[in-house]
Amino acid sequence: MPAGPRRLRNLLVVAFVIYIADLLTKIAAVHYIDPFDPISIVGDTVTLTLIRNPGAAFSMATGMTWVLTLVAIGVVIGVIKVGRKLRSVWWALGLGLVLGGALGNLTDRLFRSPGPLQGHVVDFVSVGWWPVFNVADSAIVCGAILLVALTVFGIEPDGSRANSGDAAKSADAADPENTQDTESGTDRKEKRQ
């Protein structure tokens, strides 16, 4: 199987695992955690605290639920479009994390109360001063960090290094044997032979 379809499959498997983990943990959180009685994991530092979040990841932009829903739909479409051209396993992992997380929170926005496009996302993990979050939020953040790192290190979605073609062109331009004669359009090397 060519690398492209394999990488798309990798992306979809990662997204599916994240989506199912997010869905199951949210079902468990709604069923077992009392919103008024957090469960202590490590003293008061790490608790399971059930909240319904109308905003973005980590409870930001709480008044823009429908906009966030449309953005999530756009992210899903964009990731799938880019995923069809992938050759890098690392890009597949990063995009799979983002896709799985986006689908997890999008499911809440579409199907939880108060209604379609306005549903509140279930968040339940509280760590110290950090805002309450869920598996989907964690996956989106980890995926985004990985994608930024790949970009910083010049690794393209197709697996190549950024500017590797430019480096080869500049090396050719610096070699007087490989320059073109502008008048005739032929290589000087060919003229000498």
Pick the catalytic residue from 34, 108, 137, 187. Answer: 137
Active site residue 158: no
Pick the catalytic residue from 44, 123, 181, 187. Answer: 123
Active site residue 123: yes
Distance of alpha carbon 104 from alpha carbon 124, whole angstroms: 14
Q: Which residues are catalytic?
A: 123, 137
